[in-house]
Amino acid sequence: MSGRLLAMPLLIINMGGEMAYILQQRLVAQKIPESKSFKVLHDVIRTMYNKKFITALFSPQPVYTNKSVRQVFDRLAHSSIMRLNENSMDKLFDLMSMGFKYQIIRCIGPEQFMDITMNHLDNLFGMVKEEGVIALLDNAKSLVLDTYSNMSQGNLYLLKQTLYGFFEDRKVKVGTIFIIFF
């Protein structure tokens, strides 16, 4: 299968990993009680790795537009008791994009995308404790390994080009994210 049609899973998984790191840092910085922080991260990660969503994500498809990817993350961010205003969501998305873009630009070869993705998934395992959420992460990890580990060098380069194309012309402004709970 062409690398161009398999870029979406890497985009969502890696930007989702960045999202989880940023949310975790902001929850600590804003002194949100541990029980609420735990619930937010579990809810977001559970939704992000829901079997139906992740299976659809791994179906060969063209990369979504920036606007469509942003909508996916809007829904994921608001799948918990947490609420972000538009400005905070803009900043969160910019930070997620900047983090993943920086990582892929630093890659010497496209096979390193697997290392980045596995690192994001492994770090998410450290954020969750519920068996159901851990099973969802295990499923995603298996899908990543099955999909990308035997990909040809040519398809890996098409994947790299596709991911670079997604971030092309993205300018990022950085600020503070405020999290509100209802």
Please state the separation of Cα 141 from the chain's center in Å: 13
Name the phi and psi angles at 102, rounded to 5.
Answer: -60, -45
pTM of the complete model: 0.90
Residue type, 139: N
The pair of three-digit structure tokens given for residue 130, joined into one six-digit string: 């519920």
Tokens 């791994």 belong to 58
CA quadruple 126, 129, 131, 133: dihedral positive or negative? negative
| Greatest pairwise CA separation for the chain in angstroms | 48
Blockwise average pLDDT, block size 10, the chain, 182 residues: 87 97 92 91 95 96 95 92 87 92 88 92 95 97 94 91 88 56 44
Burial class (CB in 10 A: 0-12, 13-18, 19+), 47: middle
The pair of three-digit structure tokens given for residue 67, joined into one six-digit string: 């606007």
Q: Give CA–CA dist 89/78, Å, rounded.
A: 10
What pLDDT shows up at residue 182?
A: 39
What pLDDT shows up at residue 65?
A: 94
Of 143, 137, 128, nearest in space to 57 by CA: 143
